[in-house]
Amino acid sequence: MKLPHYYTLIFSFFLSIFLFSCKAGLTKETNQEEKRPNVLVIIADDLGAHDLSTTNSKYYETPNIDRIASEGFQFDQGYASCQVCSPSRASIMSGKFTANHGVTDWIGAASGERWRKANQFTKLLPPEYEHKLDTSFVTMPEAFRDQGYETFFAGKWHVGGEGSSPEDHGFNTNIGGYDVGSPHGGYFSPYNNPKLKDGPQGENLSMRLADETIQFMKGNKEKPFFACLSFYAVHSPIQTTEEKWKKYKDKAVEAGVAKEGYKMGEVLPMRQQQDNPVYAGLLESMDEAIGNVLSSLDELGLADNTIIVFTGDNGGVVSGDSWSTSNLPLRGGKGYQYEGGLRVPFLMKVPWMNQKGKKNDTPVISTDFYPTLLDLAGLDLLPKEHSDGVSLVPLMEGKEIEERPLIWHYPHYGNQGGKPVSVIRKGNWKLIHFYEDAHDELYDLSKDEGEQTNVFAANKVIGETLYKELFDYLKEHNAKYPTVDPEYSEEAAQKYLKRVGVDRKVILEEKRLEMLSDDFDPNNNWWGSQRIID
């Protein structure tokens, strides 16, 4: 029977609505067979939680990194998995906390009786640790490679040398990544890097790593790729051009130079001001390099199908190394167990999710990247591998995730003044166990983000419960602990502390003001940046 014309029109109208709705409701996962999303992971070295404009810095300028936040999702309580680099980077790659994978200190740090040669006169001897990430682990790049992705790495590795290089952990291509953690040749060519050919004299290292990443994307735009752009910046030695130094010197002077830039910590002076123009220039160069990568994604037509992650490997350097920045109001910095040493920028852009400029304050950690990125790409998760991470997709969809413990195990002394500790955070509570004297500190971070008041005595049940959960985990993973040094000398320790503390503070204050003076001249060609051949 033939339907009347108006019934046919009504039927067609509702059918078109139904089909449109089905098409509009298709998720990225249902379209995976057609074109899986690309993944770009960007890691900065030693970048403080408040070193970006988008994380409330009034001094540094980072418009391109800020763009990732404004077009994506910002986790305001994002954590690195360790307060120093190698363990943190091993955790990003493996999805495991440091006690689980065994790389508990930066690779190359002395341990056991060899630690005495560092002449830091400490009460404890740090334990031995793994000097490379075990190749039996299936890493994040391996998981992507094994599911059809082309994989690429550029920049700092520092998770092992021969036999544990990027190529041994799932990266098809490696540019510049080897066992060393700092830029041996500095930030301007020649680089003195066996995995990176020198460019024209004076070429910028951050820009070069970005250019290598862009060339990789151009050559692989027709197939899905997993790329990791891992900057050496902003690790010491901090270097910049005369032009950038002057820009930030003038900015600091115009804002008013504080009389004092440092405050004594327990061991070393701690920087209190974001007014280092050389560090600011180094950071801006990295931001400009990231801007080039983002522009290339646009030009190549890849931006709408590329997930971008931006994070750091540990907190900003407030003491030791180059005394580069301030993490205030967070306490401490790189090498320390406090928030300034563990909190990092934590940004994710997923183009097809409605998340522009959204923020979330759920505690998350870098081991979460592994399952999250697999989940977003519609790939098989590997829960036995990324056992200490969870997918953050529910949070990005406006839902919640189950409360879980975040655990840090660092039984070593940081070059920056940190002590051997293990830490657990669950909910708003954070417990720190100190191995030197076995005391515990408990903080309610919802009320005391700066960790100024230890409330363990008033909250013993909470503290003891967290302590048990922490050490149950450490026991399960056969964690190693520091031991008492029978040769410890209190007299030698006090002499050392005076030399590196009070005496050093005077020198640092002089250098800070010198760097902010009009006649500051680090050398005759600004670390080689003026050697560019036209």
Beta carbons within 8 Å of 226's beta carbon, 6+ residues apart: 38, 39, 41, 140, 141, 144, 145, 149, 150, 151, 152
Does 501 reside within a domain?
yes
What burial class does residue 531 get, using C-beta atoms within 10 Å of its C-beta: 0-12 exposed, 13-18 middle, 19+ buried? Answer: middle
pTM score: 0.92
CB 194 within 8 A of CB 203: no
The count of structural domains within the chain is: 1
Structure tokens at 397: 């969809």
**β 38-44/225-230 pair status:** parallel
Residue 491 confidence (pLDDT) above 90 = yes
CB 297 within 8 A of CB 303: yes
Residue 190 confidence (pLDDT) above 60 = yes
Angstrom distance (rounded) from CA 496 to CA 474: 32
Does 46 reside within a domain?
yes
Q: What pLDDT score does 60 carry?
A: 98
Q: What pLDDT score does 532 carry?
A: 57
Does 41 reside within a domain?
yes
Question: What is the mean predicted confidence (pLDDT) over 221-226?
Answer: 95
Q: What is the DSSP letter of 75?
A: E
169 by DSSP, 3-state: which? helix
Question: What is the mean predicted confidence (pLDDT) over 377-385?
Answer: 96
Residue 52 confidence (pLDDT) above 70 = yes
CB 347 within 8 A of CB 309: yes
Residue 9 confidence (pLDDT) above 60 = no
Q: What pLDDT score does 354 carry?
A: 83
Angstrom distance (rounded) from CA 342 to CA 313: 9
Give, in order, the Cα–Cα distances in Å from 64 to each of 70, 285, 290, 495.
Answer: 10, 11, 6, 46
Question: What is the mean predicted confidence (pLDDT) over 31-49?
Answer: 86
Q: How many CB atoms sit inside 10 A of residue 215's CB?
A: 14
Q: What pLDDT score does 21 carry?
A: 39
Residue 110 confidence (pLDDT) above 60 = yes
Does 311 reside within a domain?
yes
Angstrom distance (rounded) from CA 422 to CA 508: 31
Percent of the chain scoring above 90 in pLDDT: 89
Residue 159 sits at φ, ψ, to 5 deg, of: -120, 20
Residue 441 sits at φ, ψ, to 5 deg, of: -125, 135
User: pLDDT-based confidence at 22, cuts 50/70/90?
Assistant: very low
Beta carbons within 8 Å of 484's beta carbon, 6+ residues apart: 123, 124, 125
Residue 446 confidence (pLDDT) above 70 = yes
341 by DSSP, 3-state: which? helix
Does 22 reside within a domain?
no
Angstrom distance (rounded) from CA 230 to CA 174: 11
Q: What is the CATH number of the domain that holds 249?
A: 3.40.720.10
pLDDT, averaged across the chain: 93
Structure tokens at 4: 């009347």
Give, in order, the Cα–Cα distances in Å from 90 to each of 50, 103, 142, 159, 235.
Answer: 24, 7, 14, 6, 18
Q: What pLDDT score does 34 carry?
A: 62
Does 435 reside within a domain?
no
184 by DSSP, 3-state: which? coil
Angstrom distance (rounded) from CA 462 to CA 469: 11
Specify the residue for token string 């320390």.
336
Give, in order, the Cα–Cα distances in Å from 355 to each of 111, 187, 351, 445.
Answer: 45, 35, 8, 26
CB 440 within 8 A of CB 434: yes
For 127-167, write each residue's pLDDT tens digit: 999 999 999 999 999 999 999 999 999 999 999 999 999 99
Does 503 reside within a domain?
yes
Give, in order, the Cα–Cα distances in Å from 201 to each of 352, 531, 533.
Answer: 42, 5, 7
Four-residue CA torsion sign, 349, 353, 358, 360: negative
Angstrom distance (rounded) from CA 379 to CA 209: 28
Terminal CA-CA length for the chain: 82
Angstrom distance (rounded) from CA 358 to CA 398: 10
Q: What pLDDT score does 25 carry?
A: 35
Residue 75 sits at φ, ψ, to 5 deg, of: -95, 115
Tally of CA atoms within 13 A in the half-sphere of 96 that contains its CB: 22
**β 262-264/306-312 pair status:** unpaired
Q: What residue numbers bound the domain in which 101 lies?
A: 36-397+490-531
Does 469 reside within a domain?
no
